[in-house]
Amino acid sequence: MPIYEGQTVAEAVNKGLSALSITKEEAVVEVIEEAKKGFLGMGKKNARVSVEPSVAEEISEAVTETVAEVTETAPELELVEEEVIPAEEVQVETVSTDFVKVASAQPLVDLEDEEALKELALYLTNITNELNAPALVKMKREDGLILFQLDTQKQGILIGKHGKMLNALQYLAQVFIHRVAKNKLSVVVNVGDYRQKRQAILERLADRTAEKVKRTGRPVFLEPMPAFERKQIHFSLSKDPAVQTHSEGDEPYRYLVVEPAKRY
């Protein structure tokens, strides 16, 4: 936990923000010790604070809102909820043919893994074009995940404020692959090194949350986040016998609960 000192709390916080190159809105600040003036120069102490990047990525705002940001820019995209239309009824028209160019009129259902992943790559390519941030979509398998890397000159557009647009693309990609693939596949969409930086934040969040649970003996409820991010925290804390984790709620509002491990 990084600690910063200053003659006042504000000065200590500013030092931390400057060192991390973030704003106060993007930080989690904890005052460890207030400054003490002392008496006649004796007993004077600086303020000490902890400053860390916040994991709050505004994911708690509905994913439907983030998807709206995509569809407002590209109105021809039609997203249909999985619960509404059975897989066997999903035709190419479910996703606009302006986005998914298919040579044949065959429905995009029950595709083998590689074919489904190729269709997803094309789908993401078309979306980025419509967003005026054309990207070269590269697929690779990494640590058991299927990663779609979007290489673009306009990373800011595809990442969005606090990663909001990237989470929308992630949601769209997962809905699409569930709809067209015969097998259940999990994919991750990344732009630049955003996911790597995010993973580092999640690891710090996991450690900080576990310490809080052990200190207070009470459960901590984290903000809603994508499934693969919850899995990262699940995995990180699975090594700590003092805590246990589980997810609650429904997508896209599903969240993680970290609580003291039950003793039998």
Give residues with Cβ within 8 angstroms of 206, minimum separation 6: 232, 233, 236, 237, 258
Same domain, 84 and 187: yes
Same domain, 183 and 103: yes
Same domain, 185 and 234: no
Same domain, 112 and 150: yes
Query: Is the previous residue joined to 2 through a cis bond, with omega within 30 degrees of 0?
Result: no
Same domain, 180 and 241: no
Q: Locate 174 and state its tokens.
A: 């997962």
Token look-up 């990207």 returns 135
Per-residue pLDDT of 108-160, as tens digits, reads: 788 999 999 999 999 999 999 988 899 999 999 877 779 999 999 988 889 88
Q: Which domain holds residue 37?
A: 3-53
144 assigned to some structural domain = yes
198 assigned to some structural domain = no
Same domain, 127 and 39: no
Beta bridge partners of 47: 6
Please report, for residues 59, 73, 171, the alpha-carbon distance to residue 94 in angstroms, rounded to integers and kept in the order given. Answer: 26, 18, 16
Per-residue pLDDT of 219-255, as tens digits, reads: 999 888 878 788 889 999 998 999 999 999 887 678 8
* Helix%, strand%, coil% for the chain, nearest 5: 40, 20, 35
Contact yes or no for 32/61 (Cβ under 8 A): no
Same domain, 74 and 184: yes
Per-residue pLDDT of 182-229, as tens digits, reads: 998 889 999 998 888 888 888 999 999 999 999 999 999 988 887 878
Same domain, 91 and 136: yes
Q: What is the mean pLDDT of residues 70-82?
A: 42
Same domain, 107 and 171: yes
47 assigned to some structural domain = yes
Question: Is residue 144 classed as helix, strand or coil in its secondary structure?
Answer: coil
Q: How confident is the model at residue 88 (pLDDT cuts 50, 70, 90)?
A: very low
60 DSSP assignment: T
197 assigned to some structural domain = no
Phi, psi of 120 (to 5 degrees): -65, -40
- Cα gap 141→60, rounded to integer Å: 29
Least confident of 42-56, 88-102, 123-137: 88-102
143 assigned to some structural domain = yes
165 assigned to some structural domain = yes
Same domain, 74 and 187: yes
